[in-house]
Structure 1
């Protein structure tokens, strides 16, 4: 059972896991060194615990300690009860949901674990945490099997990624590549058709491409950054290049929105029959 502790001093060293949550560079180095990540909001916290991630501690307003009482009864971790004002002093932002948890990181999947999938989203160097979280949410919700990240892509377990994914990061398998240069070839060798989304004159409209996908075909759809798009190295390794036709002078969508469109159009047959 969790231990309830009321804290009134923002400099209390027990709150160290929650300091300056908006300082991205500080949090990256600290969370990697300490082996932790932060879950924000009662729903996300529940999903993390239910998925088997072990809580180190909780930072809660009194109301949320009551709301999460059933979950806390089964957790061996300290619960720090704080005011909203103190939480803001410690974290550096207004914690309007009033619930944070420090969780132990786990590396659950490697690229080899995803090679028997049917549908994968592959992201190259997307460093915006909100976009990575949204991509995970779309892939999970639309029946895809996993997400593969290039070595320099944003951390799916960073707080904003976790929050935007609505906990999909805990349920959808994801893995980071070992090699930016060679790992697309590993996907192709495993039987995937590598499909790049890009603005090129020779790109095939997405709907046209979808009509030619055979029921048993395994797809790895590759998404690039919003500014530069996919690197020439990755484009050269693609089996097909597709594009989403646009109108009214708009050339493209935000990468998270584009991923959602692609995941819907190319969703597995079983997923298309499932009501949403």
Structure 2
């Protein structure tokens, strides 16, 4: 009797508030029964003894996350290896502006590379052209120098030869009294008669006239000197010393032959055709 009363006194007092017949969402979903049972169990635990604290397991979420990351990386690698990425056009969409910018950068890079290559080639070509021009200029300069040296040498040789001829001429002329024929051959070149034939005709002509003596005088006519000038004073136009200088006589005789017969051979033929002989 006493136990019953104690239990009755500890029982909760029934509420007088009206209870709703409407079921709560938890009740409709069935979770109410479980929660109620859990609450009852908990209450019983409180009543019958000290409740044990619930252990929290932290390793399981970390392990699950690492596993998820690993699976994701493996899937991405597999998709990348099998060209699965990009198959979904909706997943990877590149804007037109990005494509145009990429193309422009590619073109700019190509143009820059081409320009650099062209500039390098142009520089090399300029260097080659400069080197070739320098080589041509050096060769041309060397050729010009050689030509100038050859021309200078030729001029020097010609001048030396002329000087030698002039010296020889002067020696022969100075020796005209001793060798009038050699002096006559030297002076014949001034009239353009340089052949041996013309020289031989002159030698024969003046051998017949005076035997090449500068003081020869024709007793009957008065003709004088190597060319037998008549009168002797005609030779004065080549020098006042015409009576003593065989060179003056030879100069006048050559002039006379050219003016009267054209050359010594014509004068010699005329001399032979006349009798007595004269020209």
Same-fold status (TM-score > 0.5): no
Structure number with higher strand proportion: 1
Query: What's the TM-score once normalised by structure 2's chain length?
Result: 0.22
Query: What's the TM-score once normalised by structure 1's chain length?
Result: 0.22
Q: Which structure has the larger Rg over C-alpha atoms?
A: 2
Structure number with higher helix proportion: 2
